Amino acid sequence: MDSIRMPLQRQDSIDLFEDPSSLPIEVQRLLARYDDLLENQDPYKACSAMLADIKTLGYVFDYGLEGIPYELRPMNRR
């Protein structure tokens, strides 16, 4: 099968990537800035840089070797 398998998420997990309008404007701007990088550069490296930047705003996310970010959430929630 050629489709990419997304990691399984726990039942109680949240993923704010699915509802970016609920995020503070600073986080929305950061996500928009990295959108192009994720598409046109090495997505794994872009995710690494984006994670470092988004942590300064109080959020974290997970990503795998394929460089697809998922499960965006506030830092105090896992």
For position 77, what pLDDT does the model report?
64
Q: How many domains does the chain have?
A: 1
* Residue 1 covered by a domain: no
Quote the CA–CA distance of 12 and 14 in Å, as a whole number.
7
Whether the model pTM is above 0.75: yes
* Residue 10 covered by a domain: no
* Residue 11 covered by a domain: no
For position 76, what pLDDT does the model report?
85
* Residue 13 covered by a domain: no
Q: CA separation (Å) from 65 to 21, 43, 60, 68, 72?
A: 27, 9, 17, 8, 17
* Residue 47 covered by a domain: yes
Quote the CA–CA distance of 66 and 45 in Å, as a whole number.
10
* Residue 14 covered by a domain: no
Instruction: Determine the structural domain holding residue 67 and report its residue range.
Output: 19-74
What average pLDDT does the chain have? 86
- Output the tens digit of pLDDT for each of the chain's 78 residues: 344 444 544 555 679 999 999 999 999 999 999 998 899 999 999 999 999 999 999 999 999 999 999 999 999 865
For position 14, what pLDDT does the model report?
75
